[in-house]
Amino acid sequence: MSEPRVRADFSPRTMIALVLVGVFAFAGFTVLSVYAPELRGGEDGEAHALSKSAVGFAGAVTLLQALGTPVVVSRTPLHSLADSAGLRVISPGVMPDRDEMAAYRGDGPLLIILPKWNVTPDETHLGWVKKLGVITPDAAAAPIRAQDHAIRLAQRPGVSRPALRGAGGPFGPGVFLPLDAVDHLQTLAGEGWRPALTDEQGGMVLASWGRSQMYVLSDPDLLNTQGLKGLNTARAGLAILDGLRGDRGVAFDVTLNGFKRARDPLRLLFEPPLLGGFLCVLAAAALMGVHAAVRFGPVVREGRAFALGKRALIDNSAALIRAAHKEPELVGAYVSLVEARTAKLLGERETDPAARAERLVRLERQRRPAESLETLKTAASAAKTRGDALALALRLFKWRSDMSHDRR
């Protein structure tokens, strides 16, 4: 009675599929983890250039692109003019990092847009927000105070339709920019600030710090989406950007809003020039895995250090003969052994060597082998090397096959 066949829990095909799925899933997770900051969009609705909400500045980016102005959204810090050849625009929040804000220098055109609105995400529309009201002037001034500059902000109550006038810098006294309705117009004041644009009440809306090229826009509604919906405000916002950038482009820096490109050493493996070498390493690992799966079969169990039985005795004796180079001296005995085994195979019971040889000669006349046994005995006496012995063994095998008609 045969033993019942044991069924494996998983087939080899299933296990290979699981391994491949695991490898690809881990690779995808690694790549997504490395590039997570770049894959993040502006759906949080905050005030930055990736946000399409009412307080975001994605509309300004789209408008500049439509007008043919070179514009980029940078995920790397643009601390100085060397980092960007054009106007740098940042929109920090109410809790900026002091060290990061201090790194932005006014040795090139820099526009800082101050915050004003307190918002919460709209659950019914991804990327939209709901207004909770304006933040306090003290909180709105936090980005500038992080740079150790004195500043005071004021917010005009209610909705008004102010007009901006040029007061210095790139905006001369003849500049007049009417605005659409603005809710709680925010202006700035303080020692060391030089006005560039003021409202009809003399409050500074755009001002520079001393003689540097660092400008502060006190009210973000001149450039955010809700402000650009009005034609007059859109014209005023474009005039501000055009006046500050000159004939150069505009770069919106979103690193202060949580979209900074991380410096990850693992990222170097996925980008040139290391990408080619990394792909070669992966290909080599895959080929090694395939080779290991195809080359090796079941695990070979470790045997005894000293084998037992006739097979081990024969192997050891053959190894000794081979080591002593005694093969040619044993050719004659091997011929006699083959002669006796062939005669027994053919049914001969004769034990006398002479009578047995005579009987085989008669059978050779009937079966006509390629060579006679006498010829092989003569060749055996002439064998001198291991090669001669091997060649004679092959001839003996052919003679035995011809005599027994066994072609295996």
- Is residue 307 pLDDT above 60, yes or no? yes
Which of 228, 257, 286 represents a domain boundary (last residue)? 257
Residue 35 is assigned to a structural domain of this protein: no
State the pLDDT at residue 156: 94
Q: How far apart are the first and last CA of the chain?
A: 34
Q: Which residue has the tokens 């092989």?
A: 376
Of 61-70, 81-90, 109-118, 123-132, the least confident: 81-90
Which of 194, 227, 257 represents a domain boundary (last residue)? 257
On whether both 66 and 207 belong to a single domain, the answer is yes
On whether both 208 and 322 belong to a single domain, the answer is no
Cis amide prior to 273 (ω within 30 degrees): yes
Residue range of the domain that includes 399: 310-404
Mean pLDDT of all residues in 58-70: 94
**Residue 136: which CATH number?**
3.40.50
Instruction: Give 241's contacts (C-beta < 8 A, 6+ positions apart).
Output: 60, 64, 69, 87, 89, 111, 223, 250
Which of 257, 292, 325 represents a domain boundary (last residue)? 257
Residue 114 is assigned to a structural domain of this protein: yes
> Could you report the per-residue pLDDT of 370-392, keeping only the tens digit for each?
888 888 888 888 888 888 888 88
On whether both 235 and 355 belong to a single domain, the answer is no
Residue 70 is assigned to a structural domain of this protein: yes
Amino acid at 128: W
pTM: 0.61
Mean pLDDT of all residues in 53-64: 94
- Is residue 54 pLDDT above 80, yes or no? yes
- Is residue 308 pLDDT above 80, yes or no? no
Residue 273 is assigned to a structural domain of this protein: no
Instruction: Place 1 in a pLDDT band, splitting at 50, 70 and 90.
Output: very low
On whether both 249 and 318 belong to a single domain, the answer is no
Residue 25 is assigned to a structural domain of this protein: no
On whether both 73 and 166 belong to a single domain, the answer is yes
Outline where 35-68 has alpha helix (H).
36-39, 58-66
On whether both 205 and 108 belong to a single domain, the answer is yes
| Domain total in the chain | 2
- Average pLDDT along the chain: 85
